[in-house]
Amino acid sequence: MGSLFEKKSIERIRADAEAGYAEAGHGHGAGLRRDLKVLDLTALGIAAIIGAGIFSMIGTAANAGGPAVIFLFMFTALACGFSALCYAEFAARIPVAGSAYTYAYASFGEFVAWIIGWDLIMEYAIGNIAVAISWSDYFTSLLAGYGLNVPPFLTMDFLSASRGHGAVAALVAAGQSLEQLRADSSLAASLSAFDAWASAPVLFGVHVVCDLPALFVTAVITTLVFVGIRESKRANNVMVAIKILVVLLVIVLGAFYVNPANWVPFAPNGAAGVMKGVSGVFFAYIGFDAITTTAEECRDPQRDLPRGIIGSLIICTVLYILVALVLTGMVSYTKLAVGDPLAFVFGPQGANLPWISGIIALSAVVAMATVLLVFQLGQPRIWMAMSRDGLLPPIFSSIHTRFRTPWFSTIVTGLVVAIPSLFMNLTEVTDLTSIGTLFAFLLVSGGVLFLDRDDAGRKGRFRLPYVNGRWIVPGLLVATALALVLFGRGALAAYFDPRAPFAHKIPITIYAVFFAAIAALSFVKRLSLIPVMGLLTCGYLMTELGVTNWLRFGVWLVVGLTLYFLYGRKRSRLGRSAEPPSPGAPR
């Protein structure tokens, strides 16, 4: 058995993908259908990025940062952009399904590849659970607008309903009536949970409360993904066109109702306020990496994958910035802490155009569905790649003979998302998904530094530009230190305050050491600037997510490592055979 950090050559990765390893007997020898072009890939990227972020989270971020939240979108796009270029470099060299998992195998070895594969399972699964729950909220609101009311106990998770019931019951016990509480708009969510719990049927002493629409949309999308990539891309392209048209309508129409006075002050809460929304904004950007999981279904992956990744990121960044400017210009940023900011600014407190609310609500439902579609496409293909390497059971790489999709992995993905979405609470999901995604971005950026810059046979393919970071990165370190001394005395005082909990200082302390180490390596090794900037920006964003999420992420990794040493390590193909089988050999 080879070393934990034994790498898999790019040539062997390609050969193994061609061989298939569909040992489960279903679809033996069948490959995935190559049907995606650059327009389809760009649409998949837009589908993944324009979702909850633009229809919901942008309001909370704007409320914290004011109009200056556009700088957060720019910074996050820059951080994602550095990583996106690194993804594009890998995609051009290794046009194989598996995304960051496969790239880590080629640059860091099997052990790190397993870690990132396990991390991606969390990112995609939990991210899709969040999307399914959000879709349910928008869908039930849309139905309510047409007078169709789904029973509340079928539209909420068990924990939220229980907590809401307890909170309202405590207020009633303290002497307030339900009528008084319903007059307080700040208690709307708790009262909704109270009604769900009170109206729910009781079975064997347990209140039956579940999010049925979340289950429904997951089942529909999983079925579409199971049937085939061609059907999935067609549905996605149509839905993406609809939501882009709606976003453009919001921007153009809203521009006529902008009051420049609402942009003053531009950054009411300073840099801290702007960065407060980093988790939600970054959550809005994740998804472009899912494009790379479809590499084996692209007609020309080495040319089209980089174009799709970079094109979708640029288009979505421009749309996010324009929407943020329009929203904060139409109403004061102080009013935007609402769940549906786009509909809100066209309501009575904004432009007062009620007819557009229905259009926005419908487009939000469509937007969420496309995000779910892209992630449900991505997860099975990562499992397929891990299975071909022996790290998961062979059935995960089995290809359906008719639909030419990883059928078993697709079904398992649907169950992993559908069942928790019935009962799971949304509160902590966003941060946990963001830290997992940032970890993947960080490893992909670092992996590029281990690649041979003189890879042969790459004419006409994307090549990451080399910029010598020898002086630039150390210069950034010095500039950052000076900026903290001159302008960040409040932050430094808070850090060195002995009364502040030390645990919350750990992420930024680790990052400071990491930044210094990268600066030293850049000077000595003349590291390429773009992947280094990907490391630094993603690393910093991880520090903004708090120590609690780091601990949860650590627990998830410990569980994954346990599974690796109990199963994957013993069955790894890399450790059991020195040479891959030829594509035509019997398996």
Number of domains in the chain: 3
Q: Which residues contact 250 (CB under 8 A, 6 or more apart)?
A: 323, 326, 342, 356, 360
Q: What is the DSSP string of 297-321?
A: GBSSHHHHHHHHHHHHHHHHHHHHH
Residues 489 and 344 in one domain: no
Whether residue 458 is predicted with pLDDT greater than 60 in this model: the reply is no
Q: How many CB atoms lie within 10 A of CB 142?
A: 17
With respect to residue 291, please indicate whether it lies within any of the assigned structural domains.
yes
Same domain? 204 vs 120: no
Question: Do the Cβ atoms of 86 and 400 come closer than 8 Å?
Answer: no
**Would you say residue 498 has pLDDT above 50?**
yes
**Amino acid in the structure at residue 262:** N
**Chain centroid to CA 462:** 24
What's the pLDDT at 283? Answer: 67
Q: If pLDDT is split at 50, 70 and 90, which confidence band does 494 have?
A: confident
For residue 368, tell me if it sits in a domain: yes
Asked if residue 226 lies in contact with residue 407, where contact means CB atoms within 8 angstroms, the answer is: yes
- Asked if omega into 580 is within 30° of 0 (cis), the reply is no
Residues with Cβ within 8 Å of residue 32, at least 6 apart in sequence = 97, 229, 296, 297, 399, 404, 405, 406
Q: What is the pLDDT of residue 322?
A: 92
Same domain, 289 and 361: yes
Residues 6+ apart with CB under 8 A from 274: 64, 65, 66, 68, 69, 71, 72, 267
Give the separation between CA 477 and CA 265, rounded to whole angstroms.
30
CB 269 within 8 Å of CB 337: no
pLDDT, position 325: 92
Domain end position, chosen among 448, 482, 511: 448
Q: Is residue 467 part of a domain?
A: no
pLDDT over threshold 70, residue 250: yes
Average pLDDT score over residue span 197-216: 87
**Given 413, 448, 483, which residue is the final one in a domain?**
448
- Interatomic CA distance for residues 199 and 205, integer angstroms: 14
- The share of the chain scoring above pLDDT 90, in percent, equals 19
Domain match, 32 and 68 both: yes
The residue among 178, 132, 181 whose CA lies nearest residue 157 is: 132
Choice between 586 and 251, residue whose per-residue pLDDT is larger: 251
CATH number of residue 61's parent domain: 1.20.1740.10
The two three-digit tokens of residue 328, written as one number: 């904060």
Between CA 508 and CA 365, with CA 273 as vertex, the angle to 5 degrees is 105
**Distance, CA of 365 to CA of 106 (rounded, Å):** 39
Q: Among 38-42, 176-180, 192-196, 558-562, which stretch is predicted with the lowest mean pLDDT?
A: 176-180
Give domain status of residue 105, yes or no: yes
Q: What is the per-residue pLDDT for 329?
A: 92
In this structure, is residue 506 part of a structural domain? yes
Question: Rounded distance, CA 281 to CA 124, Å?
Answer: 17
Question: Rounded mean pLDDT of the chain?
Answer: 83
pLDDT digits (tens, 9 = 90+) for 308-339: 988 999 998 999 899 999 999 998 888 887 76
* pTM of structure: 0.83
Instruction: Count CB neighbours of 191 within 10 A.
Output: 19
Q: How confident is the model at residue 580 (pLDDT cuts 50, 70, 90)?
A: very low
pLDDT tens digit sequence for 135-149: 887 888 788 778 888
**Residue 19 within any structural domain of the chain:** no
**Rg from Cα positions in the chain:** 24
Paired with 220 in beta bridges are none
553 found inside a domain: yes
Structure tokens at 451: 């690649």
Residue-number span of the structural domain to which 102 is assigned: 26-146+214-448
The closest of 99, 101, 73 to 88, measured between CA atoms, is 99
Mean pLDDT of 49-75: 81
362 shares a domain with 293 = yes
201 plus 297 within the same structural domain: no
Would you state the pLDDT for residue 412? 93
Q: Which residue's entry shows tokens 């910093």? A: 540
- Going through 176-298 in order, the beta strands assigned E by DSSP cover 202-203, 206-207
Tokens describing residue 541: 């964003």
Instruction: Tell me the one-letter amino acid at 327.
Output: L
Mean per-residue pLDDT for 492-500? 74
Helix 472-487 to helix 506-525 angle, to the nearest 10 degrees?
150
Q: Tell me, yes or no, whether 427 and 395 share the same domain.
A: yes
pLDDT for res 425: 64
Tell me, yes or no, whether 163 and 277 share the same domain. no
Q: Specify the range with the lowest mean pLDDT, choosing from 217-226, 433-442, 497-506.
A: 497-506
| 251 and 285 assigned to the same domain | yes
Rounded Cα–Cα distance for residues 285 and 282 (Å) = 5
Please check whether residues 357 and 485 belong to one and the same domain. Answer: no
Q: How many residues does the chain have?
A: 587
State the DSSP string of 124-152: HHHHHHHHHHHHHHHHHHHHHHTT----G
Beta strands in 252-342 (DSSP E): none
How remote is the C-alpha of 424 from its chain's centroid? Answer: 18
Same domain? 83 vs 182 = no
Q: What pLDDT score does 107 carry?
A: 87
3-state helix, strand, coil in the chain (%, to 5): 70, 0, 25
Ordered alpha helix ranges (H), 20-173: 38-49, 52, 58-65, 69-93, 100-107, 110-145, 158-173
- Shared domain for 300 and 234, answered yes or no, is yes
Token pair listed for 175: 């002497």
- 3-class DSSP assignment, residue 420: helix
Check residues 3 and 427 and name the one with the higher pLDDT.
Answer: 3
Question: Is residue 581 a part of any domain in this protein?
Answer: no
Residue 230: pLDDT over 70? yes
* Among candidate residues 385, 415, 448, the one where a domain is terminated: 448
146 CB contacts (<8 Å, ≥6 apart)? none
